[in-house]
Structure 1
Amino acid sequence: MKTQNIFRKLFFIAGCAAIACIVNVNDSHAASATAAANGKVIVPIQILKTGDLNFGSFLAGAGTVVVDNAGARTKTGAVALASSGTAPSAAAFDISGEPSATYSISVPATLDLMNGANKMVATLTNNIGTTGTLSAGGTQTLNIGGSLAVADGQASGAYTASLIVSVDYN
């Protein structure tokens, strides 16, 4: 009986040791690693109009009135520039957002200026192009000029249009 108890204890100890070896063997093949999870909320991009595109006053004649991106006005053809009325100017927009971020700019290629049923077409230009990069301070200025086609005998009056510009992060 003593011998049986000793064998039982030995078998029990041997069984526990075998289980411990199996558990350790399986654990020796396991590995783990840790990765960081990150995210960054950026400053929303914004655009604010600070000036309108104004071709100024002129007398009709076949040609164009040109306002460059800096606001300087010239003409081609038979158009005669007038010094009275509102001063010519390029449209200006302040863009702000995440410092050094790139963004896309959407500016129409042409703009129809209307006076009732009468129309003149402006072909637009800008100082940035279709993609801009905000400064280290998170700002940039967009200027828009254009070339306004004037017909000989163009009807007199105030011609207007809405120039819609949009920006979005790339």
Structure 2
Amino acid sequence: MAEGRKSFSQYLFNGLSLGYSLKKSFYEATAAMKDNYIFNGQIPVLIDGNNGYLAQTTYIGGSSIIGNILPEIVSHTLSQTISAGAFDLYAEISNIETSGHVWASVMPPNYHLPETSQNLDTPIIHLPTIDLHSTGNGRYTATYSGFTINGMYRVTIYCEDS
């Protein structure tokens, strides 16, 4: 999914790089993953043998704190019912560099997530994607014409700096 860019580890290490404790980074990463349908059913667990105290007081990467310079999606196309056909998508992004990348993946209503194999290999998920292009002031837009059947589509918007 998104070439592995969206993962629990990504969010965990983002929190650690912002100067959060291991515990706070863990819970921030857990919350970020719950917002994505594809990761439903995955339940991260943090056990440090001391009711979370060790994780709360453990910091990785020194005592300096880096300001939050990660891009953030501050608003986007609202959930709504549409007919099959083309539809405009948008996202407003803060803290994104001019060479950043904004895109969306689209999960059609008839898509079924692949099963996990017996050896627990991570399934590869291939979904249609569309790039959103800057129109200025942090706003990115695109028209997606792949809404070919009626039903509920799951559109997930991503952003990353270069």
Q: TM-score range by the shorter chain?
A: 0.3 to 0.5
More strand by share: 1
Greater share of residues in helix: 2
Structure with larger Rg: 1
TM, length-normalised to structure 2: 0.36
TM-score normalised according to structure 1 size? 0.35
